[in-house]
Amino acid sequence: MGSKVHTCAHQGCHKLIPFDDRYCTQHIALHPRDTKRFDKAYNVKRQHDSKTKERIAFYQTKQWKQLRKQVIERDNGLDQYALRDGLVVPGKLVDHIVPIEFAPELKDDINNLVLTSMASHKAKTEWEQTYYGTGKKNTINRSAVPVREIKYIPIKFNELKTI
């Protein structure tokens, strides 16, 4: 297997670049080096309650970073929802199949993780909010049966708008 690669983080760019880089040579100049101040403001807004704060903190741990790397490698850098529908689309996000808001005990289970694109992730999040009752201003539906396999999640990649 060759060097690990992923797509450029610039919106709409699909160039493959080394895993340690964030942007391709064409787009690196368009993004300021001080993005941490924007990230910080976003995180302050998001961390309004202790449960959200705890979930967000998990994504900064060494354990999560190792899991994420394993999932990207296992899924060959491809969106698994698109692949399920017969399409080859690069993935950038590692997503919990059963959301940790619904089943926190599955947060570090590699079998509950899948690589997705922004379009698939957005559609799946909308489905989760309806099915599980996750998200802001929703009530968790404890009677929902956890859907552990992506083949049973009713989103179709070919019907999504690409982001």
Query: 33-77, pLDDT tens digit by residue?
Result: 645 555 565 555 555 566 677 778 888 899 999 999 999 999 999
Helix (H, G, I), strand (E, B) or coil at 30: helix
Within a domain: 14: no
Q: Does pTM surpass 0.75?
A: no
In a domain, 9, yes or no: no
Establish if 4 belongs to a structural domain.
no
Token pair in block for residue 143: 């009677």
What local confidence, expressed as pLDDT, does residue 34 receive?
Answer: 45
Say what the pLDDT of residue 159 is.
65
Where residue 94 falls (left for φ over 0; alpha for ψ -120 to 50; beta otherwise) is beta
The tally of domains found in the chain comes to 1
pLDDT digits (tens, 9 = 90+) for 99-157: 999 999 999 999 999 999 999 999 999 999 999 999 877 899 999 999 999 999 998 87
- Amino acid present at 3: S
Q: Do the Cβ atoms of 146 and 134 come closer than 8 Å?
A: no
Tens-digit pLDDT profile for residues 81-103: 999 999 999 999 999 999 999 99
Q: Is residue 6 part of a domain?
A: no
96 assigned to some structural domain? yes
> Where in the sequence is the domain holding 52, given as residue range(s)?
32-159
Residue 37 domain-assigned (yes or no): yes
Helices (H), the chain: 35-46, 50-58, 62-74, 80-84, 118-131
Examine residue 139 and state whether it is found in any structural domain, yes or no. Answer: yes
In a domain, 153, yes or no: yes
